[in-house]
Amino acid sequence: MPCDLILVLDAPSTRELTPVLRRLAGTVRWAKVGLELFTAEGPDSVRAVADLGFRVFLDLKLHDIPNTVAKAVESASRLPIGMLTLHAAGGRRMMAAAAEARRGASPDLLLLAVTVLTSLGESDLADIGVAGAPVEQVLRLGRLAVESGLSGLVCSPVELPRLRAQLPGNLQLVTPGIRPAGSPGDDQKRVMTPAAAARAGANYIVVGRPILQAADPAEAALAILAELNAQR
């Protein structure tokens, strides 16, 4: 199964990222605009990244009442984005409302349900009243997302085999928690190498600090792409 790289743009400004993005344009297809950059620069950050030739994954993790999230999906769909996230924990009605809004506003937009953040382990889930291992909660929320009309999930790579075995084969799985061999885990608890995630069934891997904090970010990104291409 082909697996693609999404570059995480964790920085306070697009200006800071522009040199790296220009070097990677035409090689890395996807870039993720998350809360840090979107809070700093708003929709202009999305447009700036798109103008540099990247497809944009807007990672806002929407989580609110159904009507509010549906309206947010409609608003976001007017931006040049290819993916958008919401929290599966928002429930069936919220996800169904978001899916309906996407169908009306931007049918090609891939709406992704975030299951369990890769920074959380079993004890973290217990703190918020969720019993059991993260994989069980990921499966529970993944099934709910599919039943609600979503066609993609964000999960850790550790859950990929169970999701591939138990959920529809055409489900798009996007996996943060990716660390090249020898890289520190940072605040991620459920991690895997790029090649292992590709073999386990990821459609996209999401990588930030191992690229942006490398001595040569472009070289680090190209090394990950080579690792993914070797799995095809």
Where in the sequence numbering do the catalytic residues fall? 61
Tokens of 50: 């798109």
CA distance 4 to 104: 27
CA distance 112 to 106: 14
- Of 153, 143, 165, 161, the closest CA to residue 198 belongs to 161
Instruction: Answer positive or negative: Cα dihedral of 85, 182, 187, 219.
Output: negative
CA distance 18 to 135: 37
| Amino acid sitting at position 13 | S
DSSP lists the bridge partners of residue 33 as 58
**Angle at Cα 179 formed by Cα 138 and Cα 153, nearest 5°?**
25
